[in-house]
Amino acid sequence: MFELGGHPLILRPEEMQLSRGESVRDTAYILSRHVAAIGIRTGSDALVAELAEHASVPVINMLTADHHPCQALADLQTMKEEFGHLEGLKLAYVGDGNNVARSLAIVGALAGVEVAVAAPEGFQLEPVAGAQLTDDPYVAVKGANVVYTDVWVSMNDAPETAQARRLALAPYRIDDALLAAAAPGAIALHCLPAHPGEEITDAVLYGERQRIWDQGENRRHAQKALLELLTGG
Protein backbone atom coordinates (compact mmCIF):
# COMPACT_ATOMS: atom_id res chain seq x y z
CA MET A 1 0.00 0.00 0.00
CA PHE A 2 2.81 2.42 0.87
CA GLU A 3 4.57 1.69 -2.42
CA LEU A 4 1.37 2.56 -4.30
CA GLY A 5 1.02 5.82 -2.38
CA GLY A 6 -1.77 4.61 -0.13
CA HIS A 7 -2.21 4.10 3.59
CA PRO A 8 -2.78 0.62 5.03
CA LEU A 9 -5.30 0.22 7.85
CA ILE A 10 -4.54 -3.04 9.66
CA LEU A 11 -7.36 -4.40 11.81
CA ARG A 12 -6.77 -7.51 13.92
CA PRO A 13 -9.65 -9.68 15.19
CA GLU A 14 -9.65 -8.17 18.67
CA GLU A 15 -9.86 -4.67 17.13
CA MET A 16 -12.94 -5.44 15.05
CA GLN A 17 -16.52 -5.01 16.17
CA LEU A 18 -17.15 -8.42 14.60
CA SER A 19 -15.55 -9.93 17.68
CA ARG A 20 -18.18 -8.17 19.83
CA GLY A 21 -21.26 -9.20 17.91
CA GLU A 22 -21.46 -6.78 14.98
CA SER A 23 -22.85 -8.41 11.85
CA VAL A 24 -20.72 -8.99 8.77
CA ARG A 25 -23.18 -6.83 6.83
CA ASP A 26 -22.75 -3.87 9.16
CA THR A 27 -18.97 -4.31 9.10
CA ALA A 28 -19.04 -4.25 5.30
CA TYR A 29 -21.11 -1.07 5.31
CA ILE A 30 -18.82 0.83 7.66
CA LEU A 31 -15.52 -0.33 6.19
CA SER A 32 -16.73 0.64 2.72
CA ARG A 33 -17.08 4.24 3.96
CA HIS A 34 -13.40 4.42 4.94
CA VAL A 35 -11.33 2.34 2.51
CA ALA A 36 -10.81 1.77 -1.22
CA ALA A 37 -10.49 -2.01 -0.85
CA ILE A 38 -10.82 -4.67 1.85
CA GLY A 39 -8.36 -7.56 2.14
CA ILE A 40 -9.30 -10.30 4.58
CA ARG A 41 -7.57 -13.40 5.96
CA THR A 42 -9.98 -15.65 7.80
CA GLY A 43 -11.14 -19.25 8.09
CA SER A 44 -14.60 -19.14 6.56
CA ASP A 45 -15.21 -18.64 2.83
CA ALA A 46 -18.83 -17.87 3.67
CA LEU A 47 -17.74 -14.87 5.75
CA VAL A 48 -15.73 -13.48 2.81
CA ALA A 49 -18.65 -14.01 0.43
CA GLU A 50 -21.04 -12.23 2.80
CA LEU A 51 -18.59 -9.36 3.23
CA ALA A 52 -18.27 -8.99 -0.55
CA GLU A 53 -22.04 -9.14 -0.99
CA HIS A 54 -22.58 -6.08 1.18
CA ALA A 55 -19.41 -4.06 0.62
CA SER A 56 -19.37 -1.28 -1.97
CA VAL A 57 -15.58 -1.62 -2.45
CA PRO A 58 -13.59 -4.61 -3.75
CA VAL A 59 -13.07 -7.45 -1.24
CA ILE A 60 -9.89 -9.50 -1.66
CA ASN A 61 -9.60 -13.02 -0.29
CA MET A 62 -6.09 -12.96 1.20
CA LEU A 63 -6.50 -16.50 2.60
CA THR A 64 -9.27 -18.80 3.75
CA ALA A 65 -9.44 -22.48 4.61
CA ASP A 66 -10.47 -23.34 1.04
CA HIS A 67 -8.70 -20.76 -1.12
CA HIS A 68 -5.48 -18.75 -1.44
CA PRO A 69 -5.88 -16.85 -4.73
CA CYS A 70 -3.38 -14.08 -3.97
CA GLN A 71 -0.64 -16.66 -3.55
CA ALA A 72 -1.58 -18.19 -6.91
CA LEU A 73 -1.21 -14.80 -8.60
CA ALA A 74 2.34 -14.49 -7.30
CA ASP A 75 3.03 -18.05 -8.46
CA LEU A 76 1.87 -17.27 -12.00
CA GLN A 77 3.99 -14.12 -12.04
CA THR A 78 7.04 -16.18 -11.06
CA MET A 79 6.31 -18.71 -13.81
CA LYS A 80 5.87 -15.94 -16.39
CA GLU A 81 9.22 -14.43 -15.38
CA GLU A 82 10.95 -17.79 -15.69
CA PHE A 83 9.44 -19.12 -18.91
CA GLY A 84 8.25 -15.96 -20.68
CA HIS A 85 4.68 -17.27 -21.03
CA LEU A 86 1.99 -19.20 -19.16
CA GLU A 87 -0.13 -20.80 -21.86
CA GLY A 88 0.81 -24.45 -22.28
CA LEU A 89 2.91 -24.80 -19.12
CA LYS A 90 2.31 -27.64 -16.67
CA LEU A 91 2.43 -27.29 -12.89
CA ALA A 92 2.53 -30.34 -10.62
CA TYR A 93 1.51 -29.85 -7.01
CA VAL A 94 2.59 -32.65 -4.66
CA GLY A 95 1.52 -33.12 -1.04
CA ASP A 96 -1.56 -32.02 0.86
CA GLY A 97 -4.43 -31.03 -1.46
CA ASN A 98 -5.19 -27.84 0.46
CA ASN A 99 -6.32 -24.28 -0.24
CA VAL A 100 -3.12 -23.50 -2.16
CA ALA A 101 -3.57 -26.52 -4.43
CA ARG A 102 -7.22 -25.61 -5.06
CA SER A 103 -6.41 -22.01 -6.02
CA LEU A 104 -3.57 -23.13 -8.26
CA ALA A 105 -5.99 -25.44 -10.09
CA ILE A 106 -8.58 -22.67 -10.53
CA VAL A 107 -6.24 -19.80 -11.43
CA GLY A 108 -3.99 -22.05 -13.49
CA ALA A 109 -6.92 -23.12 -15.66
CA LEU A 110 -7.82 -19.48 -16.29
CA ALA A 111 -4.23 -18.78 -17.42
CA GLY A 112 -3.93 -21.84 -19.67
CA VAL A 113 -1.69 -23.76 -17.25
CA GLU A 114 -2.21 -27.51 -16.90
CA VAL A 115 -2.32 -28.45 -13.20
CA ALA A 116 -1.76 -31.91 -11.76
CA VAL A 117 -2.20 -32.63 -8.05
CA ALA A 118 -0.60 -35.68 -6.43
CA ALA A 119 -1.85 -36.52 -2.94
CA PRO A 120 -2.57 -39.64 -0.91
CA GLU A 121 -6.07 -40.83 -0.12
CA GLY A 122 -7.68 -38.55 2.42
CA PHE A 123 -5.58 -35.56 1.34
CA GLN A 124 -6.67 -35.15 -2.27
CA LEU A 125 -8.71 -32.31 -3.75
CA GLU A 126 -12.21 -32.79 -5.02
CA PRO A 127 -12.39 -32.57 -8.84
CA VAL A 128 -11.77 -28.91 -9.60
CA ALA A 129 -11.11 -26.85 -12.73
CA GLY A 130 -10.07 -29.86 -14.77
CA ALA A 131 -6.97 -30.55 -12.68
CA GLN A 132 -5.39 -33.98 -13.08
CA LEU A 133 -5.69 -35.85 -9.77
CA THR A 134 -3.41 -38.77 -8.88
CA ASP A 135 -1.87 -40.48 -5.88
CA ASP A 136 1.47 -40.91 -7.68
CA PRO A 137 3.86 -37.93 -7.51
CA TYR A 138 5.91 -39.26 -10.43
CA VAL A 139 2.82 -39.39 -12.62
CA ALA A 140 2.00 -35.80 -11.67
CA VAL A 141 5.46 -34.39 -12.42
CA LYS A 142 5.83 -36.07 -15.81
CA GLY A 143 6.29 -33.22 -18.29
CA ALA A 144 5.84 -30.59 -15.57
CA ASN A 145 7.62 -27.25 -15.85
CA VAL A 146 6.95 -26.45 -12.20
CA VAL A 147 6.95 -28.76 -9.17
CA TYR A 148 5.18 -27.15 -6.22
CA THR A 149 4.58 -28.02 -2.58
CA ASP A 150 3.35 -26.63 0.74
CA VAL A 151 3.88 -27.56 4.38
CA TRP A 152 2.39 -30.82 5.64
CA VAL A 153 1.70 -29.67 9.19
CA SER A 154 0.20 -26.37 10.33
CA MET A 155 0.56 -24.71 13.71
CA ASN A 156 -2.98 -25.76 14.65
CA ASP A 157 -2.44 -29.49 14.16
CA ALA A 158 -2.31 -31.61 17.33
CA PRO A 159 0.93 -33.62 17.81
CA GLU A 160 -0.72 -36.97 17.04
CA THR A 161 -2.37 -35.50 13.92
CA ALA A 162 0.91 -33.95 12.83
CA GLN A 163 2.75 -37.26 13.03
CA ALA A 164 0.06 -39.07 11.04
CA ARG A 165 0.21 -36.39 8.37
CA ARG A 166 4.00 -36.68 8.10
CA LEU A 167 3.79 -40.44 7.63
CA ALA A 168 1.08 -40.21 4.98
CA LEU A 169 2.76 -37.44 3.02
CA ALA A 170 6.40 -38.60 3.23
CA PRO A 171 6.37 -40.12 -0.31
CA TYR A 172 5.39 -36.69 -1.68
CA ARG A 173 8.55 -34.82 -0.66
CA ILE A 174 10.20 -32.71 -3.38
CA ASP A 175 13.75 -33.99 -3.70
CA ASP A 176 16.30 -34.12 -6.50
CA ALA A 177 14.89 -37.39 -7.84
CA LEU A 178 11.32 -36.05 -8.14
CA LEU A 179 12.51 -32.81 -9.72
CA ALA A 180 14.66 -34.78 -12.17
CA ALA A 181 11.55 -36.67 -13.29
CA ALA A 182 9.89 -33.43 -14.40
CA ALA A 183 10.48 -31.64 -17.71
CA PRO A 184 14.00 -30.41 -18.52
CA GLY A 185 14.50 -26.99 -16.95
CA ALA A 186 11.71 -27.51 -14.42
CA ILE A 187 11.74 -25.32 -11.33
CA ALA A 188 10.59 -25.91 -7.75
CA LEU A 189 8.16 -23.56 -5.98
CA HIS A 190 6.94 -23.42 -2.38
CA CYS A 191 4.52 -20.90 -0.86
CA LEU A 192 6.48 -20.79 2.44
CA PRO A 193 7.20 -21.08 5.29
CA ALA A 194 9.13 -24.26 4.50
CA HIS A 195 10.05 -27.17 6.74
CA PRO A 196 13.29 -28.44 5.16
CA GLY A 197 13.53 -32.21 5.40
CA GLU A 198 9.76 -32.66 5.41
CA GLU A 199 7.92 -31.52 2.28
CA ILE A 200 11.11 -30.34 0.55
CA THR A 201 14.78 -31.20 0.92
CA ASP A 202 17.47 -28.67 1.78
CA ALA A 203 19.14 -29.45 -1.54
CA VAL A 204 16.08 -28.33 -3.51
CA LEU A 205 15.04 -25.46 -1.24
CA TYR A 206 18.46 -23.82 -1.47
CA GLY A 207 19.50 -25.25 -4.84
CA GLU A 208 19.82 -23.79 -8.30
CA ARG A 209 16.56 -25.17 -9.68
CA GLN A 210 14.20 -23.39 -7.28
CA ARG A 211 12.64 -19.93 -7.71
CA ILE A 212 11.13 -19.89 -4.23
CA TRP A 213 12.70 -16.64 -3.06
CA ASP A 214 11.64 -14.84 -6.25
CA GLN A 215 8.18 -16.27 -5.63
CA GLY A 216 8.20 -14.90 -2.08
CA GLU A 217 9.13 -11.43 -3.35
CA ASN A 218 6.45 -11.58 -6.02
CA ARG A 219 3.72 -11.82 -3.40
CA ARG A 220 4.28 -8.12 -2.87
CA HIS A 221 4.41 -7.17 -6.55
CA ALA A 222 1.44 -9.32 -7.62
CA GLN A 223 -0.79 -7.82 -4.92
CA LYS A 224 0.23 -4.29 -5.92
CA ALA A 225 -0.99 -5.10 -9.43
CA LEU A 226 -4.20 -6.56 -8.02
CA LEU A 227 -4.87 -3.47 -5.91
CA GLU A 228 -4.18 -1.16 -8.85
CA LEU A 229 -6.51 -3.17 -11.06
CA LEU A 230 -9.36 -3.32 -8.54
CA THR A 231 -9.18 0.31 -7.44
CA GLY A 232 -8.85 1.72 -10.96
CA GLY A 233 -5.39 3.19 -10.33
What is residue 16's DSSP assignment? S
Catalytic residues: 41, 68, 71, 150, 191, 219
- Of 200, 188, 179, 227, which is closest to residue 75 (Cα–Cα)? 188
Ramachandran bin of 4, using left for φ above 0, alpha for ψ from -120 to 50, beta for the remaining angles: alpha
Integer CA distances (angstroms), 34 to 7, 9, 216, 226, in order: 11, 10, 30, 19
Instruction: Give 187's contacts (C-beta < 8 A, 6+ positions apart).
Output: 82, 145, 146, 147, 209, 210, 211
Q: How far is the C-alpha of 53 from the C-alpha of 48, rounded, in Å?
A: 9
- 91 close to 143: Cβ distance less than 8 angstroms: no
Helix (H) / strand (E) element for 190: namely: strand 187-190
- Please give the torsion angle defined by the CA atoms of residues 208, 173, 42 and 61, in that order, rounded to the nearest 10 degrees: 50
